[in-house]
Amino acid sequence: MIPLDKCFIIAELSANHNGSKDVAIETIKAAKRAGADAIKFQTYTADTITLDSKKDDFKLSQGTIWDGMYLYDLYQQAYTPWDWFEELYDIAHQEGLIAFSSPFDKTAVDLLESIKNPIYKIASFEITDIPLIEYVAKTMKPIIISTGIATDEDIQLAVDTCRKVGNNDITLLKCTSSYPAPIEEANLLMINDLKERFDVKSGLSDHTMGTVTPVVAVTLGATVIEKHFILNKEIGGPDASFSLDENEFTEMVNAVRAAEKAIGNISYKLTDKMKSGREFSRSLYITNDVKKGDILTKDNIRSVRPGFGLHPKYYNEILGKSFKKDFEKGTALKKDFFE
């Protein structure tokens, strides 16, 4: 289950191990130090995700940071070797992190099931792979789906596919599938719309630079935040340019947790601190020495701070009444002082 008591913050390892298992291990440990709740992997090989072809269809030219590369070559560089997964999951568990993955075909799901993967993530570009979504949903594990390239019909079909097999633990993530994504295209108002329109939990898979977007997302109801995480940007790699390092991720986590505290809840009940603060509110005070029988006028009573006297709402009502006895300037006015 995905914890519901706070925003679930996912550090996305993706290709940021740069081909080194030792780097992957150290990245998991750094993610824990940075405050992540989970570490997420991607489970594919170049052969399970594309074809080894040099036809133009397989050459990137969409304005990405990888333009000019062939898909097979990119994924051959970026994939996580499958014989790492069991050890990486064990290390994550030892660190107190939830480890899970995005599978990209059925064989990846089978591998992940063999190591008791607890949550599944469907990547943005796989939202149209309905057979894969159905296969994942049948595990009856929580399923998180990014919506970066999806129309509302795509999203509805994916959600319906999960529900058709009885899996209702669905979280949709607002995602802008640009790397990095321009902040003006974040469209965070979609987070709540996804929740209401499709009757699911919702959150953000973020590819913008920095930490502003995740913090705003939490204030708009995101229950999940996913952000690419890298041990050190100097190691390079396909995703390095739009990933957060340990210091940046820590800053994001701290800001998200502070935002959660600031959001609070809807309540008009006064806290003890607020009750104490009311002592500095306005109330009615005697502003000049008065004698018994003197009339209450605007010259001898006023609404001032602090708040120990009669409520100011009585001011007009009591003008013209008379004092029952002598009072000194600075005395908090009470109801039994006049008649």
Residue 85 phi, psi dihedral angles, 5° rounding: -60, -45
pLDDT of 277 reads 87
For residue 239, is pLDDT > 90? Answer: no
106 Cα distance to chain centroid? 30
Q: What is the pLDDT of residues 268-307, one digit of tens each?
A: 888 888 888 888 999 999 999 999 999 999 999 999 999 9
Structure tokens at 281: 């509110």
pLDDT of 228 reads 93
Rounded distance between C-alpha atoms, residue 337 and residue 258, angstroms: 48
Domains (ranges, CATH) in the chain? 8-44+79-263 (3.20.20.70), 272-337 (3.90.1210.10)
Mean of pLDDT over the chain: 94
Q: What is the pLDDT of residues 77-107, one digit of tens each?
A: 889 999 999 999 999 999 999 999 999 999 9
Instruction: Please state the rounded mean pLDDT for residues 301-327.
Output: 97
Instruction: Please state the rounded mean pLDDT for residues 198-222.
Output: 94
Helices (H) and strands (E) in the chain — how many of each? Answer: 12, 10
Instruction: Give the pairing of strands 283-286 and 38-43.
Output: unpaired
| Consecutive H or E run containing 226 | strand 224-228
Closest CA to 9 of 222, 226, 193, 321: 226
pLDDT of 201 reads 97
Top-confidence residue, 332 or 63: 332
Q: Where are the alpha helices (DSSP H) in 15-105?
A: 21-34, 46-49, 71-78, 85-95
For residue 127, is pLDDT > 80? Answer: yes
Rounded distance between C-alpha atoms, residue 26 and residue 41, angstroms: 14
**How many Cβ atoms from other residues are within 10 Å of residue 303's Cβ?**
17
For residue 236, is pLDDT > 80? Answer: no
Top-confidence residue, 14 or 305: 305
Q: Are 147 and 175 in contact (CB under 8 A)?
A: yes
For residue 15, is pLDDT > 80? Answer: yes
Q: Are 124 and 155 in contact (CB under 8 A)?
A: no
For residue 224, is pLDDT > 90? Answer: yes
Residue 227 phi, psi dihedral angles, 5° rounding: -145, 135
